[in-house]
Amino acid sequence: MSEAMHIVFDDTAMAAAGQGNLLASRLIHRAHTEPGWFLYAPACVLVEADRARPGTAEHLAALPGVTVLDLDLPAALAVARQQTWAAAHAQYSAQPTADRPDGAVIATTDPQRWQGQPVRVLDLTP
């Protein structure tokens, strides 16, 4: 297992960050200041978060340390098979890749949403 920490925000984590959630803020700070900490915002998740709370996408995408993940062809194919684009893109983004051999953890304030899914979850509920 690598020592790097890769974290994908789902739409609930993005909304929580915009509302001052301390745990989400700490993750953003670490991704900006600490080597080996990486925070990802999948594009489809940004759209869903912005629909729920306008301004969220622009704010998160502008933060240093947050990497926006585009909807490339493999991600689009994965999204097409799921009910919601946001959850599908977050789940796809958390899967192992060459850059993230251990995959990523999904940060959320709704861990029940991810029950039964093949992902690791970081609960941001205060």
pLDDT at 2: 55
Strand, coil or helix: 52: helix
**How far apart (Å, rounded) are the C-alpha atoms in residues 90 and 42?**
6
Angle at the Cα of 119 from the Cα atoms of 55 and 86, rounded to 5 degrees: 30
Give mean pLDDT, residues 2-22.
93
The tens digit of pLDDT for each residue in 63-116 reads 999 999 999 898 888 887 777 899 999 999 999 999 899 999 999 999 999 999
12-16, 20-24, 79-83, 102-106: lowest mean pLDDT where? 79-83
